[in-house]
Amino acid sequence: MSLLDLFEYTLKFNLAAPATATWIYMLLIAVLVVFGFGLVWGKMWNREWTLGGHVGSLMIVLLCSLGAAYGVFNLQGVSRMDDWFQEQRLTLARSIADSSRFSRSVLLSTWDQIVAKGGQKGLPPPIEGGNEICLGSPEDAYALASTAAEETRAALRNKLPFSLGIPMSTRNPTDIATETVDTVRFDASRYPTVVAATNEWSSTAATLQANHALETAYATLKPGTQSLKTASLILLLSSLLIPALAIPLSALADIKINPKSKS
């Protein structure tokens, strides 16, 4: 991922997952540049100094205040990414698995795959409002898990961070299904069994698929975050250094032009 892509992603990330502290820090640094450097710092060199009478200096200060605020904006985004991705490991899969739309889609697709085998007698089809399905064998459980993995792949495209344009890598649904069946370890002697739309196979498959996608997304971002942090620090320091040097020069030049204002 290029540095420009990271700048773009961080911008979208901060806007989509805002943190109050980020906006407070941006406001504080912008105020520091405008009032600290633009006014107080100028008056230390020339008591008659004002930004209002110096359009060039005013533009420099305003641009530097925006640059400093944007530097802080990116630094905050980078510092939050690690914790945010860890939080998503706990919440993303659950938000998908607990979604009624997801559960219904998985139930309907699985029903269509296994209904021809029979075994659904007495259960209303999902298309008619049914909320249960009968798994007659481990193969049916495998079909359920595979469908859940595929539906999770579709659901992830509309979830952060993938909705921001981060490349999404997912596992083959059949591999997820195999691991899900091994993880659930349902006793084969208990088949046939009736399960609800929200069930252990679906939630396990969703967790495996979502966590893999998150891990690969983080691995894609992580190598470039140090470069982004360095670039943002350079932007921040430059935005502080430029007015720190430009304002005294302008203030002293103003004394030369207007000697009566000499302190």
Closest Cα to residue 236, out of 66, 39, 80? Answer: 66
DSSP, res 134? E
Strand (E) positions, the chain?
132-135, 193-196
Q: What tokens does 137 get? A: 């064998």
The string of pLDDT tens digits covering residues 7-32 is 888 888 888 777 888 899 999 999 99
Q: Write the burial class of residue 239 (CB in 10 Å: 0-12 exposed, 13-18 middle, 19+ buried).
A: buried
The string of pLDDT tens digits covering residues 43-82 is 888 888 888 778 888 999 999 999 999 999 999 888 888 8
pTM of the model: 0.77
Q: What's the pLDDT score for residue 6?
A: 80
Q: What tokens does 43 get? A: 């008056």
d(CA 154, CA 174): 15
Closest Cα to residue 199, out of 181, 214, 179, 178? Answer: 181
What DSSP element (H or E) covers 16? helix 3-16
The residues that bridge with 225 in the sheet, in sequence order, are none
Residue that the structure tokens 């007698």 belong to = 121
Q: What's the pLDDT score for residue 179?
A: 96
Contact 202, 148 (CB under 8 A): yes
- Average pLDDT over the chain, rounded to whole? 89
The string of pLDDT tens digits covering residues 154-207 is 999 999 899 888 889 999 999 999 999 999 999 989 999 999 999 999 999 999
Helix 3-16 to helix 55-97 angle (10° resolution) is 70
Contact 168, 156 (CB under 8 A): yes
Q: What's the pLDDT score for residue 106?
A: 96
The residues that bridge with 195 in the sheet, in sequence order, are 133
Q: What's the pLDDT score for residue 244?
A: 92
d(CA 123, CA 130): 7
The string of pLDDT tens digits covering residues 79-88 is 888 888 888 8
Q: How many helices (H) and strands (E) does the chain have?
A: 8, 2
- How confident is the model over 117-140, as a mean pLDDT? 91
Q: What's the pLDDT score for residue 263?
A: 43
Q: What's the pLDDT score for residue 78?
A: 87
Q: What's the pLDDT score for residue 259?
A: 61
CB atoms within 10 A of CB 115: 15
pLDDT band at 251 (very low <50, low <70, confident <90, very high): confident
Q: Please report, rounded to a whole number, the percentage of residues in the chain having pLDDT higher than 90.
A: 57
DSSP, res 41? I
| C-alpha gyration radius of the chain | 29
SS3 call for 195: strand
d(CA 49, CA 70): 27
Contact 221, 104 (CB under 8 A): no
The string of pLDDT tens digits covering residues 211-248 is 999 999 999 888 888 888 899 999 999 999 999 999 98
Contact 22, 76 (CB under 8 A): yes
Q: What's the pLDDT score for residue 176?
A: 97
pLDDT band at 4 (very low <50, low <70, confident <90, very high): confident
